[in-house]
A and B are shown apart, each in its own frame.
Chain A
Amino acid sequence: MPACSACLPSAGLTFPRTARSRMKQVMDRPAELDANSPSEELAALLGAVSKGDREAFANLYRRTSAKLYGICLRLLRSEPEAQDVLQEVYVLVWRKAERFDSGRASAITWLATLARNKAIDRLRGRPAGGEGIEAAADVEDDRPSAFDVVGQAEDAARLGRCIDELDERARAMIRAAFLDGASYPELAERENVPLGTMKSWIRRGLLRLRGCLER
């Protein structure tokens, strides 16, 4: 484990229960208790960052950068590239923290998804800063972007169970795609099957996964 993992709040880096169940917790419990939970702290830090609080930003970086860097490194398998994307991600967080909505996803889920999406963009050959060309021209424009994530009633344990229910092949492919950034052509080549076969494996896997998660 990297030396810095000790300085990270472990609970903040697990993907907490969904926004909805968290909202229920907030209603069920005294507010102070919840405000002290790492996930609420991260959300509060993001709130402060959206108001331009540099200290909060540094604190947020201290607490989340090892996780986000780990994600970038896993996908990009290159330290310089991972550092580059990490930099892009935090500059974006600084500028667009107001786009975080604690009603939709937890802070760490939002940040981790942003890091993953930016790393995938980089893998697929679009420069991570490429969005800026439009962003500057049309700030008001609601662009698709790497920021969108909504946590539903599925938590990590539930996803784990549903992933386990998939057949081994679909499970391996979905994990390779999501965690290692493998594309359809790469997966087809790796498994030595036609592209169409790989697509139907993945689509069936995703369909089953969704069915299981919505049960």
Chain B
Amino acid sequence: MSDDRDMSDETRDLAGEYALGVLTDAELWRAQEMARTDPRFREEVARWSGRLAPLLEEVAAAAPPGSAWQKIERRIATEPAGTNVIQLRRRVNQWRGIAAAMSALAACLAIFIAVRPAPPSPVPVGIERPSAPPLLAMLGNDQQGTKVVASWDPAAQRLVLAVTGAMPPDPSHAHELWVIPPGGKPRSLGTMGSSRQMHMELADTLAQLLQQGATIAISVEPPGGSPTGAPTGPVVASGALTKA
């Protein structure tokens, strides 16, 4: 508890508010940032979560439909047994392989497109599960030369991103990824880290938006992402999803 004493009242308030879930916008980003960088803050949040958790006891149980379990089973079906740490490493290695392929592809495509605008040839994305055809989007920015290749694997509900060109790291801003269905509003897919290759698995409600013709875009937002749920900053790259 000696740690507690070093913590300002304001910080401790923030930890309680973060655990309670009342924060929005700038305060929420600040708490998220502190939770990422300050282990003592994080521990205080964990303590608050523990203090409040008994309230959940009074929430009435409700049986989920059988389809919920089937979806979960399907999602984990391809993940091998073994400890999850090993599983994760394996997944990351697989993904790095895909991402490396995507990077090379992005570079090739960048040249290819510059030379002759034509639809890209099939790409080695379905390494893990070749069953469902992936969709591809080339996200370009002429000014910065930023190229991002987004590859969507509908079967795994996995989006793989490979960045080439300049996407300068900037701690005062975040890059947020969006999907914009044809005629629809942008929906956030989350903020992007600083690495050049990323993958993310999407929940059903987002996954269903990644259809052919939907636009994938990256906007510049405050740290932690857009405060409004819609893009607020300039769009630095965008492109439409097409069949690979």
Chain A residues with CB under 8 Å of chain B are: 1-5, 8, 13-15, 18, 50-54, 57-58, 61, 65-67, 69-71, 73-74, 80-88, 90-91, 94-98, 104-105, 109, 112-113, 116-117, 120, 123-134, 136-139, 143-144, 148-152, 154-156, 159-160, 163, 174-175, 177-179, 181-185, 187, 202-203, 206-207, 209-210, 213
Please determine whether A209 and B200 come into contact, CB atoms closer than 8 angstroms.
no
How far apart sit A129 and B203, CA to CA, in the bound complex (Å)? 6
A144 touches B42 (CB 8 A): yes
Could you list 17 examples of A-B contacts with CB < 8 Å? A4-B61, A51-B81, A52-B87, A90-B72, A91-B76, A109-B53, A127-B203, A139-B88, A144-B35, A149-B50, A151-B50, A177-B22, A178-B21, A178-B52, A179-B55, A202-B20, A210-B16
Contacting pair A154 B80 (CB below 8 A): no
Task: Tell me the residues in window 53-99 of chain B with beta carbons closer than 8 Å to chain A beta carbons.
Answer: 53-65, 67-69, 71-72, 75-76, 79-85, 87-89, 91-92, 95
Chain A residues positioned under 8 Å from B45 (CB to CB):
144, 148
Q: Is the interface of B mostly helix, strand, loop or mixed?
A: helix
Chain B residues whose CB sits within 8 angstroms of the CB of A69 once the complex forms: 61-64, 68
B residues contacting A by CB (< 8 A) are: 13, 16-17, 20-24, 27-28, 32, 35-36, 42-43, 45-65, 67-69, 71-72, 75-76, 79-85, 87-89, 91-92, 95, 177, 188-193, 195, 197-206, 225, 229
Q: How many A-B residue pairs have CB under 8 A?
A: 258
Report which of A2, A148, A187 forms a contact with B46, defined as CB distance below 8 A.
Answer: A148
Contacts of A90 in B (CB 8 A): 72
Q: How far is the CA of A90 from the CA of B203 in the complex (A)?
A: 12
| Inter-chain contacts of B229 with A (CB < 8 A) | 125
**Which chain A residues lie closer than 8 Å to B28 at the CB level?**
124
User: Which of A15, A95, A126 is close to B87, meaning CB atoms less than 8 Å apart?
Assistant: A95
- Residue among B52, B203, B225 making CB contact with A87, cutoff 8 Å: B203
Contacts of B23 in A (CB 8 A): 183-184
Q: Is the CB of B82 within 8 A of A112?
A: no
Q: Which residues of B contact A184 (CB under 8 A)?
A: 17, 22-24, 27
